[in-house]
Amino acid sequence: MAKEPKKVEDLVSDPASIEIIQKSQKDCVETCFTRADSQSVSCKFGTQGICCKICHMGPCKITPNGQRGVCGADADTIVARNFLREVAAGTAAHSDHGRHLVLRFKKVAEGKEKDFKITDEKALYRIAKEYGLETEGKAVNALALELADLFISEFTSQEEDLKTLELAPEKTRAVWSKYNIAPQGVDRMVVESMHRTHMGVDHDYRNLLDMAFKTSLADGWGGARIATEVSDIMFGTPEPLRSSANLGVLEEKKVNIIVHGHEPALSEMLAAAIHDPEIREYAAKAGAEGVNLAGLCCTANEILMRRGVQVAGNFLQQELAIITGAVEMMVVDVQCVMPSLPNVAKSYHTEVVSTTDIAKTIGATHIAFDEDHAYNSAKDLIKRAVDNFKNRDPQKVQIPKFKEPLIAGFSVEAIKYMLGGTFRGSFRPLNDAIISGRIKGVVGIVGCNNIKTKTDSYINALTKELIKRDVLILQTGCAAQASAKAGKLTPETALAEAGPGLREICETVGIPPVLHMGSCVDNSRILEAATQIVYEGGLGDSLAQVPAVGVAPEWMSEKAVAIGCYFVASGVDVILGQPFNIGGSENVTKYLGEEAVKRFGGGFHYIPDPMAAVEKIMEIIDAAREALGINKKTERKLLDMKDRRNLNV
Amino acid sitting at position 263: E
Cα separation, 240 vs 263, whole angstroms? 21
Closer CB to ligand BF8, residue 298 or residue 331? 298
Q: Tell me if the bond preceding 169 is cis, omega within 30° of 0.
A: no
What is the spatial distance between Cα 271 and Cα 267, in angstroms, rounded to a whole number?
6
Select 108 or 560, whichever has its Cβ closest to ligand BF8.
Answer: 560
Measured from the CB atom, is 447 or 601 closer to ligand BF8? 447
Cβ at position 296, least distance to ligand BF8 in Å: 8
Using CA of residue 314, residue 317, residue 318, residue 322, what is the dihedral sign? Answer: negative
564 vs 584, beta carbon nearer ligand BF8: 564
Give the helix/strand (H/E) hosting 354: strand 351-354
Task: Using the minimum distance from each CB to ligand BF8, give the nearer residue, 124 or 478.
Answer: 478
Say if residue 642 is exposed, middle or buried (CB neighbours under 10 Å; 0-12, 13-18, 19+): exposed
Nearest distance in Å: CB 515, ligand BF8: 16
The residue (of 409 and 429) whose beta carbon lies closer to ligand BF8 is 409
Q: How far is the CB of 518 from ligand BF8 (least distance, A)?
A: 10
Nearer to ligand BF8 (CB atom), residue 89 or residue 639: 89
Residue 581 or 585: which CB sits closer to ligand BF8?
Answer: 581
Cα 649 to Cα 368: distance, rounded to the nearest angstrom:
49
* C-alpha 325, offset from chain centre: 28
Minimum separation from the CB atom of position 315 to ligand BF8 (A): 4
* Cβ proximity of 513 and 494 under 8 Å: yes
**Which residues lie across from 351 on neighbouring strands?**
329
Instruction: Compute the least distance from the CB of residue 196 to ligand BF8, in Å.
Output: 25
Q: Do β-strands 60-61 and 51-52 pair in parallel, antiparallel, or remain unpaired?
A: antiparallel
CA-to-CA distance for 472 and 248, rounded, in angstroms?
28
CB of 551 to ligand BF8, least distance (A): 13
Nearest residue (CB) to ligand BF8, 202 versus 554: 554
Distance CA 133, CA 389 (A): 50
Give the DSSP H/E element, type plus range, for residue 24.
helix 15-26
In the bound state with ligand BF8, the residue whose beta carbon lies nearer, of 79 and 556, is: 556
Helices (H), 437-515: 457-468, 477-485, 491-497, 500-509
Scanning 537-609, the segments in alpha helix (DSSP H) are 558-569, 586-590, 596-600
Nearer to ligand BF8, 460 or 589 (CB): 460
- The CA angle 635-638-641, to the nearest 5 degrees, is 125
Structure-derived torsion over alpha carbons of residues 480, 484, 488, 492, reported in degrees to the nearest 10: 130
Q: Is the Cβ of residue 32 or residue 50 nearer to ligand BF8 in the bound state?
A: 32
List residues binding ligand BF8 (CB under 6 A).
262, 297-298, 315, 336, 447-448, 477-478, 519-520, 557, 559-560
Minimum Å distance from CB 410 to ligand BF8?
A: 17
* Distance in Å, CB of 262 to ligand BF8, minimum: 6
Per the CB < 8 A criterion, the answer to whether 459 and 483 are in contact is: yes
Name residue 153's beta-bridge partners. none
User: 140 near 124, Cβ under 8 Å?
Assistant: yes
> Cα 551–554–557 angle (5° rounding)?
100
Q: Quick one: which of 25, 23, 61 has its CA closest to 45?
A: 61
Q: In the complex, what is the shortest distance from the CB of residue 314 to ligand BF8, in angstroms, rounded to a whole number? A: 6
- On whether the CB atoms of residues 291 and 299 are closer than 8 A, the answer is no
At closest approach, how far in Å is the CB of 17 from ligand BF8? Answer: 15
Q: What are phi and psi of 423, to 5 degrees?
A: -85, -30
Nearer to ligand BF8, 95 or 557 (CB): 557
| Residues 467, 499 contacting (CB under 8 angstroms) | yes
Residue type, 98: G
Residue 633 Cβ vs ligand BF8, minimum distance, rounded to whole Å: 38
We find the least distance from the C-beta atom of residue 574 to ligand BF8, in angstroms, to be 15
Report in angstroms how near the CB of residue 93 gets to ligand BF8 at its nearest: 8
Are 310 and 299 contacting, i.e. CB atoms less than 8 angstroms apart? no
Q: Identify which of residues 294 and 520 has a Cβ nearer to ligand BF8 in the complex.
A: 520
Write down the number of H helices and E strands in the chain: 28, 16
Q: How far is the CB of 35 from ligand BF8 (least distance, A)?
A: 16
